[in-house]
Structure 1
């Protein structure tokens, strides 16, 4: 498998690799892993972008995937001292940089 594909953290879907960093969307991050928000897709409706930003999903926010429903949707996330369930349609719009498993040092 090429260095640019990272299915181990992405439910079998590849994420891109740029100079060692791994980028994907939040819906592809497995439970137990943490990612840092790098932006919200410009393809999203303006009201969706506003709502996600108002919740605190802005550049630099670390998000931990806590768990998934039996069919993977919705999933529970923890960020900014809150826990919330979001659907894949919403989290597929959030671009993230993968960090690794929750509670581990990744630097």
Structure 2
């Protein structure tokens, strides 16, 4: 899934931007919501990610990254786990932020 942005309603009537990307592109300290698993994922990989709880609607926070950015530590559903970029690049997410603020 390529990164894209769409306007959406913000809080207090302020316009917000919703970005779609993959979990490997979310910066440490930021939170994203899982939209789904990429159709490019092999069946057993998609099944394993879903079995861990990475399903539509799950909020995932990037806690920190190793010195070379891989692996990274994530927190979701009261679980903390390290995953490699090759795995998290298969997880499509929605990142919400104020208009003009954006996330890398």
CA RMSD of superposed structures (Å): 1.2
Q: Which of 67, 70, 81 is the aligned partner of 2:64?
A: 67
Q: Structure 1-normalised TM-score?
A: 0.78
How many residue pairs get aligned? The number is: 87
Higher strand share: 2
Q: Which of 35, 42, 47 is the aligned partner of 1:45?
A: 42
Q: Structure 2-normalised TM-score?
A: 0.80
Q: Trace 1:1-107 onto structure 2 (pairs within 5 A).
A: 15-19=3-7, 20-99=17-96
If asked which structure has higher relative contact order (CA below 8 Å, sep 6+), I would say 2
SS in 1 for 2:28: coil
Gaps (5+ residues) in structure 2? 8-16, 98-104
Q: Which runs of 4+ in 1 moved over 6 A?
A: none
Kindly provide the CA deviation profile for residues 29-61 of structure 1, in whole angstroms up to 9, marking residues without a partner as x: 000000000000001000000000000000000
Gaps (5+ residues) in structure 1? 1-13, 101-107
Task: Write the distance in 2 (CA, Å) between the matches of 1:67 and 1:93.
Answer: 19
Larger Rg: 2
